[in-house]
Structure 1
Amino acid sequence: MSLTYKDVTYQDGIPHAVRVLGKGNKERVVVLSPTAQRALFQWLKHRNLEGHPTSPHLWSYTSGARKGQPFPARTVQAMLKRVAKKAGLKEWAKLTPHKLRHSYASALMEAGRGIDEVKELLGHASIATTQIYVHVSRKRLEEAARALPDVLG
């Protein structure tokens, strides 16, 4: 929620990465996925069409009494639940922005990325912390087991 325009880096006019501050004011750069790039591009376009590029905050109100003020964390959580419910997710009421980190980590692993890459993208100091976030699917576990040669012939 505290991201500002200056935290975004662009490549060919499209948002490419964001600079974030983690725990202990540890700074890292997170490269955006193509989907995240398009979503951020669309949001920034909306913000500019609403005539409010003057606020330094990326995630801020575009109208009303709070125009330009950043969204509070509870507002973001409520938006996420509303969108998840509208999308028909079964457990929309249990969804939180933090749970999206778990989904992100698991999706990266499902896409074949290594735990070390996921660790860096999440900004963890330890792989042990990253392992808490990663949930490997049964399909991947079966593929891993089938990858071993049949030594009994």
Structure 2
Amino acid sequence: MEDALSDFYHYLRVEKGLSQNTLASYQRDLKNYKLFLVKEAKIDQWNLVKRGHVQHYLYQLNDQGKSSATIARTLSSLRSFHQFLVREYRISDDPTLHIDTPKKDKKLPKVLSPLEIEKLLSINAQDPLTIRNKAMLEMLYATGLRVSELISLKLSDLHLTMGFVRCLGKGSKERIVPLGDIAKESIELYIQFSREQLVQNKQTDALFVNQHGKPLTRQGFGNILKTITDQVGIRKEVTPHTLRHSFATHLLENGADLRAVQEMLGHSDISTTQIYTQVSKSRLKDIYRTHHPRA
């Protein structure tokens, strides 16, 4: 059994070109699966695995409290492996056929209230680093960019006179996102008074740089955000994606068109954007319960 797994990992690494992290995920899923087959199902050959064994293993994961997302990912790993064995003529039938993938639990994204956003963006920007920090936060909330898109921005991606920013999203899909006046002012201030001091004599076209003049990293931005939320007294957990969620939710709450928000976020499927309408309804219920005298 181990030889087949080794060949599959080689196929994923060399032919599919998967990253080390993705490969490790496959290895973890299949190691646990093989352990179940050998110890509990008493199976020592892949051609003896039947559909019922796969289902039993998935039921066991469910009993252990694994999320539907984890079970769906595991089934995807098992399916890829068994399909590989069929293609390699090591087994004749794929036991994962006709097994439904569990639907993922849809958790509503956490957002900041408009008041909390005001708190977050009220930081006192006086020196090069705080001016940069304010510009980054203003841009994230104004555009809904992912943090990976923010730190990848180049100076040439900015079109401040026209009032928009160009970014490359997932799958290198280009999109144009409008910039509000407040965000434009913060970015202009950063470029005029801060960026040059941070870059000094280094050659970089990155828009946002760290104190050493090098392009900012995801981890670097995460640390900055954590420091600022602590400083302004926001006690809930705030991630870079929280600002993206807040951007979308506040737009929809104020009457924005769902298709327009989808385009600004760079979602290929509108169902991904629709989750923010549920957030809006949830927030309305909270407001009603809090403020209505007979709620």
Do these two structures clear the TM 0.5 threshold for a shared fold by scoring above it? yes
| Number of the residue aligned with 2:220 | 75
1:37 and 2:189 aligned: no
Alignment partner, residue 134 of structure 2: none
Distance 1:60 1:49 in 2: 10
Residue deviations 1:25-56, cap 9 Å, x none? 00001111222212212221233551737521
**Counterpart in 1 of 2:235?**
90
Q: How does 1:96-115 map to 2 (within 5 A)?
A: 96-115=239-258
In structure 2, stretches of 5+ residues that fail to align are: 1-150, 289-295
Q: Which amino acid aligns with 1:8?
A: L
Q: Answer yes or no: is 1:21 the counterpart of 2:164.
A: no
- Candidates 151, 154, 179, aligned match of 1:4: 154
Q: Which moved more, 1:37-46 or 1:19-28?
A: 37-46
- Tell me what 1:132 maps to: 275
Structure 1-normalised TM-score?
A: 0.76
Unaligned runs of 5+ in 1: 143-153
- Tell me by how many angstroms 1:7 deviates: 0.5
Q: Which amino acid aligns with 1:112?
A: G
Conserved? CA contact 1:18–1:29, under 8 Å: yes
Distance change >3 Å, CA 31–CA 70, structure 1 → 2? same
Question: What percentage of aligned pairs have identical amino acids?
Answer: 33
Instruction: Tell me the amino acid that sits aligned with residue 124 of structure 1.
Output: H
**1:105-140 deviations in whole A, cap 9, x for unaligned?**
01111221111111111011121011234420317x
Q: Within 1, Cα distance between the matches of 2:235 and 2:198? A: 37
TM-score by length of structure 2 reads: 0.41
8 Å contact kept, 1:101–1:133: no
Higher fraction of strand: 1
Q: Corresponding residue for 1:151?
A: none
The residue number in structure 2 matching 1:60 is 209
More helix by share: 2
Distance across 2 between alignment mates of 1:123 and 1:7 = 16
CA–CA separation in structure 2 for the residues paired with 1:130 and 1:59: 28
- Look at both structures and tell me which one has the larger radius of gyration over its CA atoms: 2
- Note the C-alpha offset of 1:60: 0.4
Q: Which runs of 4+ in 1 moved over 3 A?
A: 51-54
